[in-house]
Structure 1
Amino acid sequence: MTQSLDNIDRKILQLLQRDANLSATELADRVGLSQSPCWRRINRLQEEGYIKNRVALLDRQKLGLSIVVFVNIKLSAHGWNMLNEFEAAIVSFPEVLECWTISGGMDYTLRVVTKDIESYEQFLRRRLLQLPHIQEAQSNITMTEVKNTTQLPLDDL
């Protein structure tokens, strides 16, 4: 899919992932285009799915969400219905920001955010561990955030 991206497309994407509030005029100035061709490129990038959404990134610390936990989940069975049931439940939990299927000894990794350890424990006991077919859950509570970005490495495309 990246074969149809030229250098200007990549520059537009790079700028937008840093600041989605940039106008088409500002983007056009920064990539060396006039406003109309730049606007058309942005629309094409959206239509082709390169730009999925434009969102506001919130500061979880300022909002009082100070705990980030990576939870590795192992299911007791792996039938199609069980996987779908588990995944549907996970999608419904607002505390779970990400859910990945993984290879190795565990089946899923979740990134969970809560306000404090007590809140995480309540989430774990009352919601997550109440799901059927969970054999094991390993919680890894984070300490220091070294890097957290949403910017994809576009230079090598």
Structure 2
Amino acid sequence: MTRSNQPLDSFDHAILDVVSAEGRIPVTDLARRIGLSKSPTQARLKRLEAEGVITGYQAMLDPIRLGRAHVAFVEVRLTDTREKALAEFKRVVRTIPEVEQCHLIAGNFDYLLKVRTSDIVSYRQVLAEKLSALPHVASTSTYVAMEAVKEGQF
């Protein structure tokens, strides 16, 4: 459902599939790919943007070419999980460029981080100097990814 409570139909889903995989493409190409004419495709695209279903477009970067092929997932346990402590942790973790994702988790630990670095040596430095120094960190557990099977789009 969208914010206007209008359900998404098969054409809307087709538009979302194409733009999530390829980003911006000419409306005429998009229309051809989904089987509609240009005007209704353009109207649907504008509606999906206006309703916040499409929140933006971005370039997909190759982490290997950028020297960030090493991926580690880090479980973080905090000493304090009151709102003030969580807010402080979130504020600081957002400043660490190596942290690609950070999720609050319901489970045996508090946060799960996806961390990208060039190699295990640089990861160890990030862990020691940045992650372990985050506010209220009690402990961390690291899991190194050996292969990305699926990343990116829905």
After TM superposition, the score normalised by the length of structure 2 is: 0.92
Tell me how many residue pairs correspond in the alignment: 151
Please, which of 54, 59, 69 is the counterpart of residue 57 of structure 2?
A: 54
Please, which of 137, 142, 146 is the counterpart of residue 140 of structure 2?
A: 137
Unmatched 5+ stretches in structure 1? 153-157
Confirm or deny that 1:80 pairs with 2:83.
Answer: yes
Query: 1:54 Cα deviation (Å)?
Result: 0.7
Number of the residue aligned with 2:19? 16
Letter in 1 for 2:153: Q
Number of the residue aligned with 1:103? 106
Unmatched 5+ stretches in structure 2? none
Query: 1:32 Cα deviation (Å)?
Result: 2.2
Equivalent position SS for 1:71: strand
After TM superposition, the score normalised by the length of structure 1 is: 0.90
Query: 1:88 Cα deviation (Å)?
Result: 0.7
Confirm or deny that 1:118 pairs with 2:130.
Answer: no
Conserved? CA contact 2:93–2:134, under 8 Å: no
Over the residues paired in the alignment, what is the CA RMSD in angstroms?
1.3
Confirm or deny that 1:41 pairs with 2:44.
Answer: yes
Q: 1:37-79: per-residue Cα shift (whole Å, max 9, x none)?
A: 2111111101111111111111111221121000000001111
Letter in 2 for 1:120: Y
State the alpha-carbon separation in 2 of the partners of residues 22 and 68 from structure 1: 31
